[in-house]
Chain A
Amino acid sequence: MGISQDTIKQVTAQLYDRSLRGIPKDTEAALRRADAAESNETARHTLRIMLQSAEAAQREQHFICSDAGVPVYFVKVGAQARFDGSVRQAITDGFAELVASIQPPLLPHVTHPLTLERGYQGKGMPIVTFDMVDDCDYVEITCSPKALGSGRWAALQIFSFPDLKTIETFVLDTVIQAGSQPCPPVVIGVGIGGTFDYAAKMAKEATLRPIGEKHPEKIVADMERRLVQAVNQTGFGPMGTGGDSTAMAVHVNYCAGHGFTPVAVAFNCWINRRTKARLYNDGRVETLE
């Protein structure tokens, strides 16, 4: 027995569907903490409406946001996992079936980058990345669809031998540039080092880390603490109309590299879409988020 194409198809479609109708538990808790700590009354109102909106969407099985974004999947493949069929095709088919049946229907956000034609399918869609993981017999799939509001404000710059101050200032300036646009309070992911493409991947993966989970290395955890304080001192607040809650978290990932150091910054809006499941060789499916 192995992980069937049909199971992957169904699970990935469900992960996408579920990511649109609720927020992760850690995110709900972070919004409640922000509400308790917020000094700006308008901002507190906005935070409470955010919580009400998430709760109503969950209860009524409706969407939190009309922008369902583009489907994005991160797949960690256990070295002992066995597949019965094509994983890529299963995810593509799952999304196609979802689009045909989902209620309420999705707006066609998948856009051809050269002709600006819109639809539900397109070259390279869904966006799927695969990583190999040793010593396990499952595949772990995270769905984090990306919408325009937060996707637009990501940034990447390549430095040569930057010091910590240079890196942290770049992150701060990216946040100031984004301002009200990515629907704060956001989760910010920062990727430092490696190569151009890898820094961006690390930044995106950093947004997926549960809120409250610190980086295990002190030098990085300290940087995360400095950055989240710095970002929240900018004063943009919920939806950018002022307040103390601009970021729920700043997560940093890094990788060794050469003397050129790419620094990438990615944003997740307050909904912080993230669902995750593990599919085992014996057919079991475990929902993690």
Chain B
Amino acid sequence: MAVQEHRLNFPLSEADARRLRAGDLVTLDGEIVVTAGMPTHERLLRCLDGDEPLPMQLQEASVMHLGSYSREADGRFEVLYINPTTSTRFNPFMPRLLRGFRWHAVGGKGGLDRASAEALQEVGGVYLSFLGGGCTLLSHAIEEVRQVGWSDMLTHYRLVRLKVKGLGPTTVGIDAQGRSLYDDEKAAAQARRAAIIAQMDAAR
């Protein structure tokens, strides 16, 4: 079956998210929010609990686990490069954040767990797999830094709203129907395990 390629405007709408299928390719235009911070995720949960105000509007945003090198020069915040970081680190936070903020697109590399996939299905969201090692290509897509939240944190932990053009392509790793390529591949590998071992036995 031919791969479906999409070029979509972000933050991704629920309607667009629900049309995507696992394995499709998506190139991003528009606005995304990036962070690579564990403390940032913890802090976002505190915001959801009402313990602290949000530093920026995040409802129905597209929040990506992209590490970045940034610097402040002449009062301007500049992002020199971006690249995905491992999303599974954020598994404990994602289901509540996805439901609380109704994020219709999240992304990074390595995928998210079943609980996150269920939350994505509920709110109508997708997980996008960025190329690990796509730093040069992905960084070309940065057009502008629109907003920076939590300047008291390390730069790559901050919430940074970026305007991007032609970011990607990314692969839909988890779709809004609840299908996760990561779960599928892991289950398939487990299911094949006995046959693979038998084949190694036969070849020995």
Contact = CB atoms under 8 A, between A and B. Distances in A.
A169 to B, nearest CB: 6
Interface in B152-173: 154, 156, 169, 171, 173
Contacts of A113: none
Interface residues of A, number: 55
Contacts of A64: 133, 135-136
Contacts of A237: 185
Contacts of A62: 81, 135-136, 139
Contacts of A24: none
Given A56-B137, A149-B109, A241-B23, A164 B204 contact: yes
Contacts of A65: 83, 132-133, 135
A234 B192 contact: yes
A42 B204 contact: no
A19 B128 CA distance: 28
Nearest to A235: B188
Contacts of A271: 133
A168 B200 contact: yes
7 contacts: A41-B1, A62-B135, A62-B136, A104-B69, A105-B69, A172-B200, A234-B185
Given A66-B83, A67-B83, A104-B81, A180 B133 contact: no
A60 interface: yes
Interface in B84-135: 85-86, 88, 109-111, 129, 131-135
A136 interface: no
A241 B171 contact: yes
Q: Find the residue from B111, B139, B188, B196 having the highest chain A CB count within 10 A.
A: B196
Nearest to A171: B200
Contacts of A270: 132-133
Does more than half of chain B's interface fall in helix, strand or loop, or is it mixed? mixed
Interface residues on B, range: 35 or more
A195 B44 CA distance: 46
Nearest to B195: A233
Contacts of B186: 176, 179
A269 B134 CA distance: 13
A206 B135 CA distance: 27
Interface string B60-85: 00000001110100000000111101
A176 B192 CA distance: 11
B193 interface: yes
Contacts of B173: 241
Given A235-B188, A240-B110, A49 B131 contact: yes
A239 interface: yes
A241 B69 contact: no
B68 A66 contact: yes
A42 B137 contact: no
B133 A183 contact: yes
B148 interface: no
A42 B24 CA distance: 8
A235 B197 contact: no
Contact of A226 (B83, B109, B134, B203): B203
Interface in B29-60: none
Interface string A123-160: 00000000000000000000000001100100000000
A108 to B, nearest CB: 9
Nearest to A56: B136
B190 interface: yes
